[in-house]
A and B are shown apart, each in its own frame.
Chain A
Amino acid sequence: MTSSDPTLWKQLFDAVDAEQALEPSEFSDRRILAAAAAMSQQRAAAAAPALVVQSRRWTQGVRPWLAIAATVAAVSVVGINRAQFGSQPSIIAADAGLVAPPPLRLDFIAGSARLSRSANDALAALAATDDLCAPDTVLRVTGSTGPLAEARRAAIGASATAVAGCPVATAAQPAGDATIDAVTVAVRAAE
């Protein structure tokens, strides 16, 4: 075997691979496939027929829609459009579940775009769980430090509790964890 033998390098790489047996972590697999599933849902939701409802107070307005959301298989958030309704917190719940099979489309408009989108994802995931009031349901919140961010985190937690109709624990993730978004989906500690 010589250096110009193409099998030499392949065999060496194979030997190193066999020794290290590297694979992506389960966390990576789950995160990537979840992102793909969420994107699939977004596309399906964007294509779904819509019934639009607007509410001035989102915590009140979202509650009946969450009840609907809990009955369908998929919930996804398709975007935020503050310009359309000004700065007043508003909700558009676009429901395909009433008149057509899922997915349900749920839009939520409020606050800063990034946090609202993340909060909306989290709320949508909460709505999709079988038991919103399970004691191990946790809304994980991350973000920058500072009074404003703290206040927003608290507001998101309170809102989650309000829409779920029961206490929802809010766990703040350490900031700077690059593998977790600013506000991530609700998860169950038991899983």
Chain B
Amino acid sequence: MGPENRYGTAEYLPDEESHLFLAWRDGDNRAIETLYRKMRVALFRLLTTMANDPGVAEEVYQEAWITIIRNADRYEPRARFRTFFMTIARSRLLDAQRRIGRTVKTAPLEEEVFDIADVDTPTPEMVAISKDMVARFEIALRALPDVQREVFVLKEREDYSWQDIATIIGAPLETARARHRYALKKLTVAIGVI
């Protein structure tokens, strides 16, 4: 984020990916390939985890890119390019899940409405990552409600800011934080780490 604008909010300074996308839009035909090669694996894996279905993820991945390419003129670098991408991709993902009749798994109402205390302060005990832990993590991650998994992945795997996550999921910051805390608690229990 950069200096504050006249509205008192921080102005976004375009990142490298945004620059590449804008350069392509301005006539540098190679810039889009550079951008695509740079981001393809990370965006695809993120989307695959969020979708919980590789087939749906592949379809949504294509649709999101093509939507962005065809509507490039509407792009304004108000956020990181990857945030812009994920906002569109998430919308396409929800469309795809509705189309194939899959119900989006939401969290129980009480989890959405009421906040919870932070996970207990961890002890300094060190735990090595084992194959078994990875397996339990993968299963528990898949079992999370969609709305919790997406926030957890965006935060812990991709290090998106809370503001970016709120933008992508179209919900208030506190909702994003609460979903993350629930996910964290469940995963912590699942992998047996405190």
Contacts and interface: CB of A to CB of B under 8 A. Distances in A.
Interface of A: 1-6, 8-13, 15-17, 19, 22-25, 28-29, 31-33, 35-37, 39-40, 43-44, 178-179
Would you call the interface of chain A mostly helix, strand, loop, or mixed?
helix
Interface stretch (B105-113, B131-139, B167-175): B131-139
A179 to B, nearest CB: 7
A29 B157 contact: no
Interface of B: 24, 27, 29, 32-33, 36, 40-41, 44-45, 48, 54, 58-59, 61-62, 65-66, 69-70, 72, 119, 121-129, 133-134, 137-138, 141, 153, 156-157, 184, 187-188, 191, 193-194
B157 A24 contact: no
A127 B35 CA distance: 30
B128 A22 contact: no
A28 B41 CA distance: 12
Given A33-B33, A35-B69, A179 B62 contact: yes
A179 B96 CA distance: 13
A35 B66 contact: yes
A28 to B, nearest CB: 5
B101 to A, nearest CB: 15
A145 to B, nearest CB: 19
Contacts of B141: 16
Contacts of B48: 22
B188 A3 contact: yes
Contact of A3 (B32, B59, B129, B184): B184
Given A22-B48, A179-B59, A35 B126 contact: no
Contacts of A40: 24, 29, 32
A39 to B, nearest CB: 5
- List 3 tightest A-B contacts by C-beta distance, closest first: A2-B122, A9-B156, A3-B188
A11 B129 contact: yes
A2 B127 contact: yes
Contacts of B27: 43-44
Given A12-B191, A22-B48, A39 B72 contact: yes
A32 B45 contact: no
Contacts of A33: 32-33, 36
B33 A36 contact: yes
27 contacts: A1-B193, A2-B122, A2-B127, A2-B193, A2-B194, A4-B119, A4-B122, A9-B157, A12-B129, A12-B134, A22-B41, A22-B44, A22-B45, A24-B41, A24-B61, A25-B58, A28-B61, A28-B62, A29-B40, A31-B66, A32-B65, A33-B32, A33-B36, A35-B70, A36-B24, A36-B36, A179-B59
